[in-house]
Structures are given as C-alpha cells and as structure tokens.
Amino acid sequence: MSIVLDHMIVPARDKEQAARFLARIFGLSYKGTEGHFAAVRVNETLTLDFDTDTDFASHHYAFKVGEVEFDAIFARIRAEGIPYGRSAHGVEHDRFRADSLCLVAPAKGAFSARQSCVLRLRSE
C-alpha cells in the first residue's frame, strides 16, 4: 500500500475566510463548514481542514500544479492584487514571470502572525 496524505489541519485566524481564500485562488469549491472545520478538498486524496486559532506559528504549504493550473492561479492572484514574489523576503509584484511563486501573507493576516510565504506554487 502506498502512503497518501489524507488531510491536514490548517490553523488560521478566521477559518472561513482562509478556506474561502484558498478555494477562490486555487479555483476550488468551498461548501462551508463540515462539523468543526472549514474544509477545502484540494484533490481526490487531500483535504485541508481550516481551524480558527489565535496563537500559532507561521506555516508554509507548497503545491505542485500543472502549467495550465499555474497560469490560472497566477491570473487570479494578479487580478486580486495579492502580493507575490520568489520568496517572502521581497515582494516582486509584476516584475517577473516565473514557474514558481510565493504568496506573501501580511503580518497579522488570516494565515500568519508575521509576514511570510504561506503558499508556494510550482509549475510542473
């Protein structure tokens, strides 16, 4: 039997806001809370279960996506004016076209207590 990651609990300052954001940016559906969690199904094997928390360390989630999906996600990021760059150390908004990018969360945002790269996308 192979090992498959089934789900992860993702802490967020507002679980509904964070789940809606990820679903919107990734082009996924969000159907509301399921029990205690705000769940987003990423693919046939992985669900991200968002949970509201007020005291947590910053996390980093990296996703490998196809070229078509990358372009669609990147277009949504740019359309919403979300800061991005090659790393969390410097936002390079509109200065490059890459096959890897980092969404930079502002300090005290929904995902993080400090500015950090919370989502990384890499095209296959």
What confidence tier does 42 reach under pLDDT thresholds 50, 70, 90?
A: very high
Predicted local distance difference test score (pLDDT) of residue 5: 92
Q: DSSP for 34-93? A: ETTEEEEE-SSS-EEEEEE-SS-----EEEEE-HHHHHHHHHHHHHTT--EESBTTB--T
Residue 6 has pLDDT above 90, yes or no: yes
Residue 8 has pLDDT above 90, yes or no: yes
- Interstrand relation of 33-34 and 37-41 (parallel, antiparallel or unpaired): antiparallel
Predicted local distance difference test score (pLDDT) of residue 40: 95
Q: Please state the pTM of the whole predicted model.
A: 0.78
State how far the Cα of 121 lies from the Cα of 70, in Å rounded to an integer: 7
The arithmetic mean of pLDDT across residues 44-65, rounded, is: 86
Per-residue DSSP letter, 108: T
CATH of range 1-55; options 3.30.1360.10, 3.40.50.170, 3.30.720.120, 3.40.50.300: 3.30.720.120
One-letter amino acid for residue 77 of the chain: I
What confidence tier does 28 reach under pLDDT thresholds 50, 70, 90?
A: very high
Q: Which residues contact 1 (CB under 8 A, 6 or more apart)?
A: none
Ordered by start, the domain boundaries in the chain are 1-55, 57-124
State how far the Cα of 87 lies from the Cα of 118, in Å rounded to an integer: 10
Contact 36, 51 (CB under 8 A): yes
84-115 confidence digits (pLDDT tens): 776 655 555 544 445 666 766 554 455 554 44
Predicted local distance difference test score (pLDDT) of residue 96: 45
Predicted local distance difference test score (pLDDT) of residue 108: 45
